[in-house]
Structure 1
Amino acid sequence: MPTQFRGRGQESGVVLRVDHMRAQSLRGLERNGFVSRTVHADPKLRVEYALTPLGRSTLEPLAATCRWASEHWDELLDAREGGISSLG
């Protein structure tokens, strides 16, 4: 998972950390069957990830969860600000 650029100093460390976290996440998704990994060696080494049928099966439930969160966003923020005791 190469990045487009590598800065110097602190920025470089941040980019490397993001790459590491992304790689960990993708490995976990692959291990659990949500994505497949393909290595292409020509002309330049690159890795491609794609959703498996199991991964694709999560798209509709995730979209429903996103719609629910969008519809209840103000309530979620109020609950966060007021704490759990404010939930009825």
Structure 2
Amino acid sequence: MNRRIHLHIDRLSLQGLDPGNRDRLVAAIERELVSRLSAPGATEGLTSARVDRIDGGRITQGDPGSAIGARIGEAISGGSRR
């Protein structure tokens, strides 16, 4: 069964991140979420709920936007399960 997923990120706060990495970061978050949420069985256990905050872990200065985005996408997909 295909399930439709609607995810809205109102605000993404990343202090100290180079604004030049923004596009790569957003693209990496989208790729990670699509990859994780389209895998077989990935939507089982997802709930319809508001999640106010998800801890994406520690980001090291100089990490590429793609690596940061992948970690954030991983945190979001895991944080959506309640």
Q: TM-score, normalised by structure 1?
A: 0.35
The structure with the greater share of residues assigned to strand is 1
Rg larger for:
1
The structure with the greater share of residues assigned to helix is 1
Q: TM-score, normalised by structure 2?
A: 0.36
